[in-house]
Copies of this chain bind each other. A is one copy, B any other.
């Protein structure tokens, strides 16, 4: 298969971890006889520094022409203390999601048997956890009208959803549930929000076309408890943008290492793959960042294009590195392995 892949390394440890994912994709090309072309572009704080724009047109064009985008990380502390600054790195990411129509953010939450002890949660609580969050990514309060009165004393954000926005991601989530254990949980706040009540109606209607899937509902406050109290009860969680942001970051603590978690953001035409960890600027250039989340993002990319065997070989190579303890210091305090060595080991085993 030929694939055009846009590389957006971004900020902090983004470039280092992305390099390891690219190494692994090269290994896949060789082993399975595919042809991937990679082109790199600027995004985030790095792009602001060089062009004044967190998402330069050239970057957007490259992504639009590519089959998929492999993303590093975004964010720089020099912008963190001033979230109201006119230009911020995050705007690049939000604009990219919107322009590429990446309406579904897909985040698997799994525990790796070799790493059960790394979790802040007790073993018996997390054993068997294996669910996927489908978070709506281009609607809701993130993109609704924002207002600030002239005096600067009243501010508002509008959370708006249409049936169409809800149904397209709901169909993806139901299809995924059908191929898994057949359980879908809609997380909302339908006892308070009009938009949540629309979600319930639309999703309940769609459920009729998926008789194999059991649908249930959970208020977001209760979901925030259940994810910690009993994470293995979940199969597919479907939710709107803001709740998904919170719930999926909460879910990321279960496995004990945020350095292992990948995500896909998909739309009709395009798809973007990124580790869920941020730019972790303190670790930049130190060869200590865990490359596995980025490598597993590449595996999700392969699966997205139906290259399941290829993805499996990446996942197996990752498992091998975990089992052999060829991991960065975040996973094993005494580890002597750096980002590059772990990347090399995994690529060599593909």
Chain B nearest Cβ from A294, distance in angstroms = 19
Q: Which of B84, B190, B229, B245 contacts A221 (CB 8 A)?
A: B245
Q: Contact between B162 and A154 (Cβ–Cβ < 8 Å)? A: yes
- Copies assembled: 2
Q: Which of A119, A142, A220, A250 has the most CB of B within 10 A?
A: A250
> Using a CB-CB cutoff of 8 Å, which residues 158-184 of chain A contact chain B?
158-164
- Per the bound structure, the CA–CA distance linking A191 and B161 in Å amounts to 21
Query: What chain B residues lie within 8 Å of A331 (beta carbons)?
Result: none
A207 in the interface (beta carbon within 8 A): no
Q: Mark A242-269, 1 if CB is under 8 A from B, else 0.
A: 1101111110110000100000000000
Query: What chain B residues lie within 8 Å of A258 (beta carbons)?
Result: 225
> For this complex, into which size category does the number of interface residues on chain A fall?
35 or more
A61 in the interface (beta carbon within 8 A): no
Q: Contact between A154 and B146 (Cβ–Cβ < 8 Å)? A: no
Query: What chain B residues lie within 8 Å of A154 (beta carbons)?
Result: 160-163, 198
**Given contacts A120-B125, A156-B160, are A250 and B224 in contact (CB under 8 A)?**
yes
Q: Contact between B200 and A224 (Cβ–Cβ < 8 Å)? A: no
- Per the bound structure, the CA–CA distance linking A20 and B153 in Å amounts to 45
Q: Which of B144, B193, B246 contacts A146 (CB 8 A)?
A: B193
A34 in the interface (beta carbon within 8 A): no
Q: Contact between A90 and B191 (Cβ–Cβ < 8 Å)? A: yes
Chain B nearest Cβ from A153, distance in angstroms = 4
Query: What chain B residues lie within 8 Å of A196 (beta carbons)?
Result: 83
Q: Contact between A156 and B194 (Cβ–Cβ < 8 Å)? A: yes
Query: What chain B residues lie within 8 Å of A313 (beta carbons)?
Result: none
A157 in the interface (beta carbon within 8 A): yes
Q: Which residue from chain B places its CB closest to the CB of A242 in the assembled complex?
A: B189
Chain B nearest Cβ from A77, distance in angstroms = 12
Q: Contact between A84 and B163 (Cβ–Cβ < 8 Å)? A: no
Q: Contact between B228 and A249 (Cβ–Cβ < 8 Å)? A: no
Q: Contact between B159 and A141 (Cβ–Cβ < 8 Å)? A: yes
Q: Mark A2-38, 1 if CB is under 8 A from B, else 0.
A: 0000000000000000000000000000000000000
A1 in the interface (beta carbon within 8 A): no
15 contacts between A and B (CB under 8 A): A83-B191, A83-B196, A90-B192, A94-B192, A120-B121, A120-B125, A141-B141, A141-B159, A142-B192, A146-B193, A154-B161, A154-B198, A155-B197, A243-B246, A250-B250
Given contacts A153-B162, A155-B161, 13 further A-B contacts (CB under 8 A): A83-B197, A141-B192, A146-B194, A148-B194, A152-B201, A154-B162, A155-B197, A155-B198, A189-B242, A224-B246, A224-B247, A224-B249, A225-B258
What are the 9 tightest A-B residue pairs by CB atom distance, in nearest-first order?
A83-B190, A155-B198, A156-B160, A146-B194, A224-B250, A221-B249, A153-B163, A155-B194, A84-B197
